[in-house]
Chains A and B, each alone.
Chain A
Amino acid sequence: MTTTDIRPHTPVEDRPTAADRPIRVLSFRQRLSRWDVKVSPYLYISPFFILFAIVGLFPIGFTAVISFQEWDLIRNSGTFVGFDQYAWILNDPKFWVALRNTFSIFLLSTVPQLLLALFIAAMLDRNIRAKTFWRMSVLLPFVMAPVAVALIFSNMFGDVHGLVNNALTSVGLDPIAWHKDPFWSHVAISTMVNFRWTGYNALILLAAMQAVPREYYEAATVDGAGAFRQFVSITLPSLRPTLIFVIITSTIGGLQIFDEPRMFDNTGEGGPAQQWLTITLYLYNIGWGEFNFGRAAALAWILFIIIVVIGLANLLITRRLVRDEGGRGVKMPRRARKDTAR
């Protein structure tokens, strides 16, 4: 193509001498080629942004508009009420209970899940037979639809006729009130989340572990370090960037948890005393149960702000932890390591 030939010449010839030369009139072809250089990259990436503006940005903006109104879904009209909807949400005890539940379920699912994933990954990282088989099996729960998982587990966690309680009573223990006590309902829901996500995280961590140079381990073995010491001093520091990725993704997932609590009983309202009502579940019930879209929109924005705040906190912590920009933890400067230890 001829046009591309001009590209390197024009800027090089033009720029330094532009002042003392008469301005050269560019032909249409040349001008087109200049625009090509300047505009094309934006054009290439534009489909994403156009699509995002339609299905992402517009709904977000429109939600903000609705959140200041008393909205009638069917007639598509509303009356402006200012910050009333926000005030209602913040004064609503159910909102705070939902917030508590969301964080409680998030902690109960993320912490054991990551510990277990680490353990499984460490086991899979060793020399075992039929490696692919074990790795595939670990990922199997992830393939199942969340609603199917929730259905099966809800059945197991039945208060009277559930599998778990039947097992407990048959060995002489008291049955657990899965659908009455907030803590136990969170445990049950977290179990479903853990079942689905542990294998996925284990595989990500495994991939990171395999990237750790084997020489480190050999050197450590020569120095007389045992398996546990090697894990703590070599494997864990090397995993830091990956761990941060895993923590961030599970934070986002944890704050948006919906399917499992929705399927935990037949009404999907989060329990008679809001034992397992999460924020997204509450949002859904206000929107699609009561058709109160003004309030639902306000709650959506509050959730958005919460996620942004937590995202920023995550970013700050991440910056502190990996100052050496994705490098292996082993090369980490001593000062930084002290920081993280604190």
Chain B
Amino acid sequence: MNARALRRVGLIAGVATTSALVLAGCAGGGNQGGTGAEGEKVTLTIATFNNFGYTDEFLQKYEDANPNVTIVHNKAAESGDARKNFFQKLGKGGLADIEAVEVDWLSEAMQYSDLLAPVPDDLKGRWLDWKEKAATDPEGNIIGYGTDIGPQAICYRSDLFEAAGLPSEPAEVEALFDGDWNNYFDVADKYREASGKAMIDSANSVLQGIVNQIEYTYDKPDGSVIATSNPEIADAYKSVVERAVPNSAYSAQWGDDWIASFQGDDFATVLCPGWMQGIISGYAPDQKNWKIANTFPNGGGNWGGSYLTIPANGKNVKEAQKLAEWLSAPEQQVEAFVNVGAFPSQVDAYENADLQGYVNDYYNGAKTGEIGADRAEAVTVLPFKSANYFKYHDALQNAVNRVFDKSESEDAAWKTWVAEVEAF
């Protein structure tokens, strides 16, 4: 081939690449709501994060029952990664057939409920009332298949309680903590006087616990912002800063120091949803003194939990709905609970013998299934969380952190928060 011919080929190749790139950019939106006939071979993808308890053997059961289905399971490390991926691709294409959504960013996803396939009507009533309500859009469609919830109990170190002269058996500790948040802080004061150490793991988990018991926190369904004028929030901030901060070992959870401290005895209690139980036993596998008290300050409280959603423009919406229905059925969720401790949100699951009889050896034989069901029943308030909830709450958490770090006073940190909220 001579030089000119070579050049021509090069030019054509160049043009071809360019147009291929342009075309590829347009290809995304093509496949709208395919149907997939009965019995046809399909590959379904599920995207989850952390650990949903969907092991390979577990998913194999569905494949065995439906030979035409192959399941591919993609796990993101944490829900933040999943959130970015979800919003980057929602409505455009490239999402899995089933996408897990965490309750923290569910309200953001609800803004785009028209882009998600609704849950069939005959499944209504499968989940706890408040679990369903949170995923219901203004048109009355449920857009997420509930998986787990996070009914909170209190996990505590019995050896440290004993050393501080407090009762240490679960029944006694339940009586000790029975009451409102002030009672909880009173116990923490006593513990500190006796041991010189903090009882609570982090001030921000207390803020989380209190705020999750308030119905209208930072804004209302009509869009009005009440964050800085809401007396309940002001009270929550005041009691966290004045009573929880002096009794907390850390300002926030999940930091390197907080994780490392599970090897020592920096704190004695952790507010404990079902999924937190697995985290404690993971961080402190050799610590034999963690126990669970079946109680929570000021009634019940829920922290966390997830849903499965189905992007409406996926290729196999029908098949995906079937799989999501199976995954979120009570029996399967109980199995996930046994696998990783993700507590079911399905009403019928609480009657399940496997769940009721489940004994957790790490927590000295605590019946975590029964405790979870009790704590779920105690949850009475469903906090309204708008798409902006996360932003407000994050800023308030930072205010608490600043007071904890002593970089700002109680008043100054509050004022900074007010200024931040006004800037949003």
B260 beta carbon closer than 8 Å to chain A: yes
Known A50-B14, A92-B423; judge A266-B254 contact (CB<8 A). Answer: yes
The smallest C-beta distance from B259 to any residue of chain A, in angstroms, reads: 9
Q: Is the CB of B7 within 8 A of A272?
A: no
Q: Is B401 an interface residue (CB 8 A)?
A: yes
- A161/B87 contact (C-beta < 8 A), A54-B21, A177-B405 known: no
B:121-135 near A, CB below 8 Å: none
Q: Binary interface profile of A, 265-292, with partner B (CB < 8 Å = 1, else 0)?
A: 1110100110100000000000010110
A-B contact count (CB 8 A): 80
- Report if A158 contacts B (CB, 8 A): yes
Asked if B3 and A75 make an inter-chain contact with CB atoms under 8 angstroms apart, the answer reads no
* Residue numbers in A under 8 Å from B87 (CB-CB): 73-74, 291
Check: B366 CB closer than 8 A to any chain A CB.
Answer: no
* CB-defined contacts of B261 to chain A, threshold 8 Å: 160-161
CB contact under 8 A between A273 and B402, given known A158-B256, A160-B257: yes
Partner of A1, one of B2, B84, B92, B108: B2
Q: Which of A40, A92, A155, A273 contacts B256 (CB 8 A)?
A: A155
Q: Which of B387-407 contact A (CB under 8 A)?
A: 391, 394, 397-399, 401-402, 405-407
- Tell me if B251 is interfacial: C-beta within 8 Å of chain A: yes
User: For residue A159, which residues in chain B have a CB less than 8 angstroms away from its CB?
Assistant: 257
Known: A54-B18, A272-B251, A273-B408. A161 touches B3 (CB 8 A): no
Q: How large is the interface on B (under 10, 10 to 19, 20 to 34, 35 or more residues)?
A: 35 or more
**Residue pair A272, B402 in contact (C-beta under 8 Å):** yes
A-chain residues with CB within 8 Å of residue B256 when the two chains form the complex: 154-155, 158, 161-162, 265-266
Do B391 and A290 touch across chains, with their CB atoms under 8 A apart? yes
Fill in one digit per residue for B15-57: 1 if any A CB lies within 8 Å of its CB, else 0. Answer: 0001001000000000000000000000000000000000000
Query: Which residues of chain A are near B2, meaning CB under 8 Å?
Result: 1
Q: How far is the CA of A72 from the CA of B326 in the complex (A)?
A: 34
Instruction: Tell me which of B2, B4, B112, B419 has the highest count of chain A C-beta atoms within 10 A of its own C-beta.
Output: B4
Find residues 255-273 in chain B having any chain A CB closer than 8 Å to their own CB. 255-257, 260-261, 266
Residue in A closest to B114 when the chains form the complex, CB atoms: A75
CB contacts under 8 Å to B, within A219-269, are 265-267, 269
Whole-angstrom distance between the alpha carbons of A88 and B14 in the complex?
Answer: 43
CB contacts under 8 Å to B, within A85-115, are 88, 91-93
Q: What B residues does A88 contact at CB under 8 A? A: 423
Q: Is the CB of A74 within 8 A of B90?
A: yes
| Chain B contacts for A172, CB-based, 8 A | none
Q: Is A8 an interface residue (CB 8 A)?
A: no
Q: Is B340 an interface residue (CB 8 A)?
A: no
A142-169 contacts to B, CB under 8 A, are 154-155, 158-162
Enumerate chain B residues within 8 angstroms of A328, measured Cβ to Cβ. none
**Residue among A265, A266, A269 with the highest chain B CB neighbour number at 10 A:** A266
Chain B, range 215-267, C-beta contacts under 8 Å to A = 250-252, 254-257, 260-261, 266
Residues in B whose Cβ lies below 8 Å from that of A123: none
Q: Please report the C-alpha to C-alpha distance between residue A1 and residue B14 in the assembled complex, in whole angstroms.
A: 25
Task: Give every chain A residue within 8 A of B407 (Cβ-Cβ).
Answer: 180, 272-273, 275
Tell me which residues across on chain A come within 8 A of B276, comparing CB atoms. Answer: none
A160: chain B residues at CB < 8 Å are: 250, 257, 260-261, 266
Complex Cα gap A73–B402 (Å): 32
CB proximity of B95 to chain A, nearest CB, Å: 11
B352 neighbours in A (Cβ, 8 Å): none
The docked-state distance in angstroms from the alpha carbon of A269 to that of B252 is: 13
Residue of B nearest to A4 (CB): B3
Take A160-B257, A160-B261 as given contacts and tell me if A73 and B398 are in contact as well, using a CB distance cutoff of 8 Å. no
- Determine how close the nearest CB of chain B comes to the CB of A98; give it in whole angstroms: 14
Please state if A272 and B260 are interface contacts (CB–CB under 8 Å): no
Asked if A50 and B405 sit within 8 Å, CB to CB, the answer is: no
Q: Does chain B have a CB within 8 A of A210?
A: no
Q: Bound complex: CA of A238 vs CA of B251, how far in Å?
A: 53
Task: Report yes or no: B398 in contact with A50, Cβ–Cβ below 8 A.
Answer: no
The answer to whether B280 has its CB under 8 Å from any CB of chain A is no
A272 and B88 in contact, given A1-B3, A47-B14 (Cβ under 8 angstroms): no
A43, A155, A180: which contacts B7 (Cβ < 8 A)?
A43
- Contacts of A265 on B, CB cut-off 8 Å? 255-256
Q: Does A314 lie at the interface of the complex (its beta carbon under 8 Å from any beta carbon of B)? A: no
User: How many whole Å from B109's CB to the nearest CB in chain A?
Assistant: 10
Q: Does B170 touch A at the CB level, under 8 Å?
A: no
| Contacting residue for A73 out of B10, B11, B88, B405, CB 8 A | B88
Contacts of A154 in B (CB 8 A): 256
Whether A180 pairs with B405 at a CB distance below 8 angstroms is yes
Q: Within 8 Å of chain A (Cβ to Cβ): is B91?
A: yes
Q: Is B18 a contact of A272 with CB atoms below 8 Å?
A: no
27 pairs of residues in contact across A and B, judged by CB atoms under 8 Å: A36-B4, A40-B7, A43-B7, A50-B14, A50-B18, A54-B18, A73-B87, A73-B88, A74-B115, A76-B91, A160-B257, A160-B260, A160-B261, A161-B257, A180-B405, A180-B407, A265-B255, A265-B256, A267-B252, A272-B397, A272-B399, A273-B398, A273-B401, A275-B407, A290-B391, A291-B87, A291-B108
Q: Report which B residues bind A (CB closer than 8 A).
A: 2-4, 7, 10-11, 14, 18, 21, 84, 87-88, 90-92, 108, 112, 115, 250-252, 254-257, 260-261, 266, 391, 394, 397-399, 401-402, 405-408, 419, 423
12 additional A-B pairs beyond A74-B90, A161-B260, A162-B256, beta carbons within 8 Å, are: A1-B3, A40-B7, A43-B10, A47-B14, A74-B87, A76-B92, A160-B266, A162-B257, A179-B255, A265-B255, A266-B256, A291-B87
Question: Which A-B residue pairs are the 3 nearest by beta carbons?
Answer: A272-B401, A161-B260, A272-B398
Contact surface of A with B, Cβ cutoff 8 Å: 1, 36, 40, 43, 46-47, 50, 54, 73-76, 88, 91-93, 154-155, 158-162, 177, 179-180, 265-267, 269, 272-273, 275, 288, 290-291
